[in-house]
């Protein structure tokens, strides 16, 4: 299979038109007409991931986060972005990113998070009014919300999350009532706080809350920050499972590199 064929399969699932305006999903490095030997799936594309691709003889990297976000005026190896791109080009490795378009579909990143929590009757938390449902009649938008099978106390819920997402640290705001209705957003999702309130969420799971945003919860909803990497770490498996079902002649492989730049001292 050629790279453009893999791209077509991925974009039938998460069309580029569903990405946010600031995003840079798509083929970032490489020739789309090249035959794919093996594909490596990662959350982030780093120099270590390129080395892994070289070792595993993969000539296509499928990443969730784009290695290129803003315009590059030169590529001379001054930072990790430039070094990663240079190494990929030198070794004929293509890089494709599937980011907020995968966040914004009903079967994407937030669906995966909801499934790990066991949420029922899920729906998009903040539907995009300007985008019509796609051919599968699914609503497009940010975040997801649903109900737990059984309500939990805050401490019970935090312990449950710690196990489900293999967490060392969880930041949270206090809540006295039980948790039944839960909103989620992979990555940086504090912009959805008002949507979570409007949908009567008892808890909102995401990452990267700013300090003063924590005060907004006022004990009416627990904000739960599980970490950016941690909230999206299983996206690799999500993409892998999709390709195994829909690209039968491809040989995908999940990266074994921990690309989380945030380290925790315990």
Residue by residue, DSSP assigns the chain as -BHHHHHHHHHHHS-GGGS-TT---EEEES-TTSBPS-EEEESS--HHHHHHHHHTT--EEEESS-S--S--S--SSSSHHHHHHHHHHHTT-EEEE--HHHHSSTTSHHHHHHHHHT-EEEEEEEE-TTS---TT----EEEEEEEEEEEE-HHHHHHHHHHHTT-S--EE----S-EEEEEEEEEE-GGGHHHHHHTT-SEEEEE---GGGGGGGTTTSEEEE--HHHHHTTHHHHHHHHHHHH-TT--EEE------------
Domain 3-102, CATH number (from 3.40.47.10, 3.40.1390.30, 3.40.30.10, 1.10.510.10): 3.40.1390.30
Q: What is the pLDDT of residues 27-43, one digit of tens each?
A: 999 999 999 999 999 99
Return the pLDDT at 88: 98
Fold equal for 3-102 and 104-229: yes
Return the pLDDT at 54: 98
Return the pLDDT at 79: 94
Residues of the chain with pLDDT under 50: none
Return the pLDDT at 139: 87
Return the pLDDT at 137: 62
Return the pLDDT at 266: 83
Return the pLDDT at 131: 57
The rounded distance, in Å, linking the Cα atoms of 246 and 235 is: 17
Domain-by-domain residue ranges, the chain?
Answer: 3-102, 104-229
Return the pLDDT at 248: 87
CATH code, 104-229: 3.40.1390.30
Q: At what angle do helices 109-117 and 235-246 cross, to 10 degrees?
A: 110
């Amino acid at each position: 299979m050629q790279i453009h064929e893999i791209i077509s399969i991925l974009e039938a699932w998460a069309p580029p038109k569903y990405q946010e305006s600031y995003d840079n999903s798509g083929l970032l490095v490489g020739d789309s007409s090249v035959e794919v030997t093996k594909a490596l799936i990662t959350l982030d594309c780093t120099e270590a991931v390129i080395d892994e691709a070289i070792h595993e003889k993969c000539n296509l990297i499928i990443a969730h986060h784009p290695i290129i976000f803003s315009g590059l005026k030169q590529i001379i190896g001054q930072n990790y972005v430039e070094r990663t791109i240079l190494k990929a080009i030198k070794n004929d490795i293509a890089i494709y990113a599937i980011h907020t378009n995968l966040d914004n579909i009903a079967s994407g990143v937030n669906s995966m998070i909801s499934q790990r929590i066991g949420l029922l009757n899920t729906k998009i938390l903040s539907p995009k009014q300007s985008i019509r449902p796609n051919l599968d009649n699914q609503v497009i938008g940010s975040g997801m919300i649903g109900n737990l099978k059984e309500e939990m106390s805050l401490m019970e819920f935090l312990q449950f999350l710690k196990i489900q997402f293999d967490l060392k640290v969880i930041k949270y705001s206090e809540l006295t009532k039980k948790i039944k209705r839960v909103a989620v957003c992979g990555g940086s999702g504090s912009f959805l706080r008002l949507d979570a309130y409007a949908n009567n969420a008892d808890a909102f799971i995401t990452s990267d809350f700013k300090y003063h945003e924590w005060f907004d919860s006022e004990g009416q909803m627990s904000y739960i920050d599980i970490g950016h990497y941690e909230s999206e770490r299983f996206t690799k498996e999500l993409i892998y499972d999709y390709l195994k079902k829909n690209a039968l002649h491809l040989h995908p492989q999940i990266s074994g590199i921990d690309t989380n730049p945030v380290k925790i001292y315990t």
